[in-house]
Amino acid sequence: MNEAHHPQVEGNEPGAWDARHEEFVQSHLKRIFSIVYKILGNVEDAQDVTQEVFIRALQRREQLKDLEKAAHWLSRIASNAAIDHLRRRKRISWTELDEPLQNALPAAAEGPEELLLRSERRVQLQSVLDQLTPRERAALILRDVEDLPAGEVARILNCGKATVRSHIANARAKFKRLMGAGI
Amino acid sequence: MTGRHISEVELALATGGDLGLARGLRVWFHTRRCSRCAALLEGYAASRRALRESAGGDVMSPDAWAGLSREMTANIRLGLAAGRIVDFQSEARLLAPEPAGWRVAVVMATLTVVLTSGWLLRRPVPGAAGPRSSWAVAEASAEGVGIHEGQAGLMLLGPDRESSVMLAGTSGGARARFIDEQTGQVTIHHAALED
């Protein structure tokens, strides 16, 4: 998921689109969309939030001169934007999941039965994730799916390490219980 | 079974290696001898594997992603352009004088100070009667606006900003307009001469 190359984004006029903007967006778009989608579980919402994150980022180019900071900052605002979005909506309609799942798999890799099975697993997964609080869900996704260290997750969620460990432990316990219950 | 059991929180954290070294080792040694805690730990590991399998990997196929990526890039580009237009309009709005509110009060207070100062400068000085030796001049410069007469003068210094407009009128006055880029506050200095 991590990109090896992080371009610098600098320019003369704020907001003017140039090749560096294009390169910057293409370098980070998939990673950021993936994080947001896994937190929101909904392609349309993930698309809106991802676009908003990049527009905000490119409007503040001065914060993106440092490459490491740019990648980290993007993850941070993407996670926070996704959490805010969840808070605003409270309940996400997971029925829209069917739409991306039609496109979700390489055509030659799986047959209809495997596709259906995988689709059901995803629906179950999202139902379980929906039971977690936004911060628990974000912590779980960032730590266990994106494989970020707990310290990094704490920085992204803007909280202490102890707090993020608490979110992770709660999220894992709930996830295990709900998956066991077959929700 | 051995001693006290490991708490669920510690088992949940141990699954992802999120315990410190000492506590991690304690969990490891304990679960070697306690089948109950070992089973719970394995349950956490299994649910973590299920999460990674279900949620991991690419979100969609390369073709679907290519289309979505193009669409998002175009929307981001459009959003940036729209942002620039909004910024431009905000800037234009800031340049126009505000019709009411506390900004008007600030402008009025500034005008009062300037006019009072002008009147004081033009007040006849006792014992200084006689033919006029110099003319009063209203001046607008990069520093601000002011009035000079002979050796005496008053200059209202403005902030050193790009967003300032200096105007010297032919009717005996000079104006300077400053915009605070942070607050949007507009300040107008007006130095006027009266006969």
For chain A, give every domain's residue range: 1-92
Of B18, B43, B83, the CB nearest to A176: B43
Q: Which fold has domain A1-92?
A: Rna Polymerase Sigma Factor; Chain: A (1.10.1740)
Q: Which residues of B touch A125 (CB under 8 A)?
A: 50-51, 54-55
Contacts of A33 in chain B (CB under 8 A): 59, 68, 72
A residues 34..53 contacting B (CB < 8 A) = 34, 37-38, 43, 47, 50-52
- DSSP-based three-state secondary structure for A72: helix
Structure ipTM: 0.71
Binary contact (B61, A104; C-beta < 8 A): yes
- pTM of the prediction? 0.57
* B64/A104 CB distance under 8 A: yes
Chain centroid, CA A83 distance in Å: 10
Nearest one of B171, A10, B168 to B189, comparing CA atoms? B168
Distance CA B115, CA B44 (A): 79
Q: Do B44 and B17 form a contact (C-beta atoms < 8 A)? A: no
Phi, psi of B138 (to 5 degrees): -90, 135
Distance CA A178, CA A127 (A): 9
Domain boundaries, chain B: 8-55, 70-95, 100-122+135-192
Q: What is the mean pLDDT of residues A143-149?
A: 89
CA distance A147 to chain B (A): 9
Residues on chain B touching A121 (C-beta within 8 angstroms) = 53-54
Searching chain B, which residue's CA lies closest to the CA of residue A22?
Answer: B73
Please tell me if residue A14 touches chain B, with a CB cutoff of 8 Å: yes
Closest CA to B45 of B31, B29, B25: B31
With 70 as the cut, is the pLDDT of residue A59 above it? yes
Q: Is the pLDDT of residue A92 over 50?
A: no
Q: How many angstroms away from the CA of B56 is the closest CA of chain A?
A: 6
Out of B8, B83, B84, whose CB is closest to A173? Answer: B8
Distance, in Å, from the CA atom of A82 to the CA atom of A76, rounded to the nearest integer, reads 10
Q: How confident is the model at residue B161 (pLDDT cuts 50, 70, 90)?
A: low
Q: Give pLDDT tens digits for B98-120.
A: 556 778 888 888 989 988 888 88
Residue B73 predicted with pLDDT over 90: yes
- Please tell me which residue of chain A has the smallest CA distance to B73: A25
- All residues of chain B having their beta carbon less than 8 Å from the beta carbon of residue A122 are 54
Given an 8 Å threshold on Cβ–Cβ distance, is B12 in contact with A37? Answer: no
The pLDDT mean for chain A works out to: 77
SS3 label, residue A141: helix
pLDDT category, B171, cuts 50, 70, 90? low
pLDDT band for position B14 (cuts 50, 70, 90): very high
Strands of B136-140's sheet in order across: B136-140, B144-149, B152-157
Mean pLDDT, rounded, of chain B: 78
Residues 6+ apart with CB under 8 A from A75: A31, A32, A35, A148, A156
The answer to whether the Cβ–Cβ distance between A172 and B81 falls below 8 Å is no
For the segment A138-167, the average pLDDT, to the nearest whole number, is 91
Residue B84 at interface with chain A, using a CB cutoff of 8 Å: yes
Q: Taking CB atoms and an 8 Å cutoff, what residues of chain A touch B61?
A: 103-107
Interface A:B, Cβ pairs < 8 A: 122
B190: confidence class by pLDDT, cuts 50, 70, 90: confident
**Is residue B27 scored above 70 in pLDDT?**
yes
Mutation target for A interface from B40, B42, B54: give the one with most A CBs within 10 A: B54
Of A16-25, A146-155, B46-55, the range with the lowest mean pLDDT is A16-25
Greater confidence (A171 vs B122) lies with A171
